[in-house]
Amino acid sequence: MTARSLVSIVDDDESIRESLPDLVRQFGFAARAFPSAEAFLASGFVTETRCLILDIAMPGMSGPDLQRELANRPQIIPIVFITASGDRAIRPRLLAQGAVECLFKPFSDAALLAALNAALAMR
Amino acid sequence: MEPPVESLADEVTRLREALRESERGSRLLLDSIPGLVALLAPDGQLQFVNRQILEYTGRTLDELKHWGTSDTVHSEDLPHVIQVFTRSIGSGSPYEIVQRLRRADGVYRWFQNNGFPLRDTSDRIVRWCVLLIDIDERKRAEDAIRASERQFRLLVETIPALVWRGTPEGELDYLNRRAVEYLGHTAESLTGGRWLELVHPDHRETTVQRWLQAATTGSSYADEYRLRRADGEYRWIRSVGEPLHDTDGRIANWYGLVIDIEDRKRAEAESRTAEEALNRARSELAHVARVTTVGALTASIAHEVNQPLSGILTNASTCLRMLAANPPDIEGARETARRTMRDGNRASDVITRLRALFTKKEFTLEPLDLNEVTREVVVLSLSELQRNRIVLESEFADDLPLITGDRIQLQQVMLNLLRNASDAMVGVRDRPRRLLLRTEREEGDGVRLTVRDAGVGVDPQSMNKLFDAFYTTKPDGMGIGLSVSRSIIERHHGRLWAEPNDGGPGATFSFWIPRQAERLDAVAAPSAS
């Protein structure tokens, strides 16, 4: 088996950054967490990232901002949005803009795994 | 021996002379009396009037003989005069009439008219003598006094108050008609201190004490208590009394008034109730406004709770997977379990903060750390700030003294300021939407919180109006947030003000609170939105 696919996680919430990488690794992927979109862009892991788990609402650059930014690049990174907001109306909008999935916190491990598999299957 | 005819005739002449002389004497006498005198035949026929009558009436004896059909006696008095006079002549008993008699110039004056019979030795009535005494001035004075008394009595009886009079001993001895009607009792039925039975049992003791105090010292009396009306209803009354002293300085009488003040009392109570209702409505309004904020903050709440919940769920899933692995990753499972607990505590903290923030409470004072209070508000506002793409920068001083205040109310103010700042920057696209939140220690031992935005700013002319109730620059705002905020800060003896940013767009709102604000105004506090 080749190197495991890198799943990058961008969320300003510490609970998520602490817990999600371990679960993602349990799924069999590599995982890295970043506290902001800016930190992710500056990290040097962008090209290596096969899937992005992205929080929507963050100080500074938001999740959709990062989505737009990445859309300008040749490399396509499938995005699974996660949000603590209860506003269900944003999901169809984000999917229409190319997101693989939009999960509302708290979400189940099965839902996340399904979304990650869908994202990685796109490649 | 027969007397000679001449001597008989002489004798008659002599007797006649003597009689004439006597009559002249009588006339002289009657004409000299300072009064009007008339002599009448036994049948009442006028025979003689003295000079004073002739002069007073300006009429002759013959004219006066027809007094019963002329205007000599005032027409209003004439029937009565004729009746009494006729009866008296018939019965032979004296009479006394008060009547008006016409003077020569046509003016009627009041006279006392006394008539009495003159009898001979055999008790036969030979004449009536009538004496008329001018009592006009006395009568008028009496009438004036009587009219005046009537006026006063009328006044006392009809005055819209209950009038009472008391003896020096404090016994009730007079009630005006209104008092009698009001109480359903007369002064007589309330003597012996029985008036006290009309006083409401709750007020009886103090009422007695105050009355006895006034009665024994002779000082003015005033009291308010509830008194039973004739219909059985107890009504608030005000009773006042003044002692009238005699020439020796002793109390001759007490005079007093009882005024029904039930309606006034009720109006006062209603006005108090209305005021309370207004206060309630005001705080309800503030509460509604706060609920509106709560509505806007629902996203924050969901956000704040969902973050740790999400962590818990993820950690638990990870933990199970680690335990199910072959071999089980015990150390990893242990770590995820610890993280699960940490997230559980985070969630619990959020709930605690929310409960503190949204429980509807009265004004409660406690020592506060402004930084801590501000941080809680920031946490709650975060999602809204993020939604509006606000970059929040905070500078918290680490040497702040504790202040005394109401945590929730101050947080209402902060939420309001943050929301305003956020709203002011919604339309900003050409520069970062920076929001600076700063706490500082102020000279004079106070603390200051500053909220500086980079928004549309405030027109300097409108600066003062900002804090007026219902003034708003927002299309969907109610304009009560800043007004209520300012009243909250003022209740903390602090100050809330706004100023344009120097050298840059936007506005800065600040409040300052003294270190010790121990005594806050007791008025129910409105809360901010």
Q: How does pLDDT run across B451-478, given as a tens digit for each residue? A: 999 888 777 777 766 776 545 555 444 4
What's the pLDDT tens digit per position in B306-353?
Answer: 888 899 999 999 999 999 988 999 999 999 999 998 888 888 877 776
Closest-CA residue of A relative to B341 is A15
CA distance B133 to B56: 12
What pLDDT does B2 receive? 57
pLDDT at residue B524 above 50? no
Our measurement of the distance from residue B162's CA atom to the centroid of its chain's CA atoms, rounded to an integer in Å, reads 18
Mutation for B interface: A12, A25, A26, most B CBs within 10 A: A26
| More reliable by pLDDT, B448 or B463 | B448
pLDDT confidence band for B6 (50 / 70 / 90): low
Smallest CA–CA distance, residue B449 to chain A, in Å, is: 22
Res. B290: pLDDT tops 70: no
Interval B476-497 mean pLDDT? 74
Alpha helix positions (H), B388-525: 407-424, 481-491
Cα torsion through B515, B521, B526, B527, rounded to 10:
20
What single letter denotes the amino acid at residue B294?
Answer: V
Kindly indicate the confidence band of residue A17, based on its pLDDT and cuts at 50, 70 and 90: very high
Residue B193 has pLDDT above 70, yes or no: yes
Burial code (b: 16+ CB inside 10 Å, e: under 16) for B114-128 equals ebbbeeeeeeeeebb
**Looking at residue B229, what is its pLDDT?**
92
Range B515-527 average pLDDT: 49
Short-list B259, B245, B282, CA closest to B484: B282
Q: Please, which pLDDT band fits residue B432 given cuts at 50, 70 and 90?
A: confident
pLDDT at position B301, please?
67
C-alpha dist (Å) from residue B63 to B57, B58, B187, B246: 10, 10, 57, 56
Q: What is the pLDDT of residues B373-398, one digit of tens each?
A: 888 788 777 777 888 888 999 899 98
Please judge whether A106 and B343 are an interchain contact, meaning their C-beta atoms are less than 8 angstroms apart.
no
Percent of chain B residues past pLDDT 90, beyond the cut:
33
B249 has pLDDT over 90: no
Looking at every residue in chain B, the average pLDDT score rounds to: 83
Given pLDDT bands bounded at 50, 70 and 90, which one contains residue B246? confident
Strand A49-55 relative to strand A79-83: parallel, antiparallel, unpaired? parallel
Average pLDDT rounded to a whole number, residues A28-43: 94
Both tokens of B392, joined, read 């929040």
CA B242 to chain centroid, in Å, comes to 22
Position A36 scores a pLDDT of 93
As a whole number, mean pLDDT of residues B36-53 equals 92
Does B286 or B515 have the greater pLDDT score? B515
> pTM score, two decimals?
0.38
How far is Cα B59 from Cα B38, in angstroms, rounded to an integer? 13
Closest residue, chain A, to B333 (C-alpha): A22
What confidence tens digit (pLDDT) does each residue in B50-67 have?
999 999 999 999 999 999
Hey, what are B424's tokens?
């002011």
User: Residue B108 belongs to what H/E stretch?
Assistant: strand B108-119
Query: What is chain A's mean pLDDT, rounded?
Result: 90
**Beta strands, E only, chain A:** 6-10, 30-34, 49-55, 79-83, 101-104
Q: How far is B347 from chain A (nearest CA, A)?
A: 11
Check CB contact under 8 Å for A57 and B383. Answer: yes
Percent of chain B surpassing pLDDT 70: 85
Burial (CB count <10 Å: 0-12, 13-18, 19+), residue B288? middle
pLDDT tens digit string along B343-372? 888 888 777 766 655 544 456 788 889 998
Q: Is A17 on the interface with B (CB under 8 A)?
A: no
CB contact under 8 A, A105 and B306: yes
| pLDDT at B173 exceeding the cut of 90 | no
Is 80 exceeded by the pLDDT of residue A9? yes
Residues of A in contact with B389 (CB under 8 A): 62
Model confidence at B105, pLDDT cuts 50, 70, 90, reads very high
pLDDT for the residue numbered B159: 80
The most confident of the ranges B168-172, B414-418, B451-455 is B451-455
Minimal CA separation from B322 to chain A, in Å: 7
**Which chain A residues have a beta carbon less than 8 Å from that of B332?**
22
Whole-angstrom distance, CA of residue B426 vs CA of residue B453: 11
Q: What is the mean pLDDT of residues B152-163?
A: 82
pLDDT band at B527 (very low <50, low <70, confident <90, very high): very low
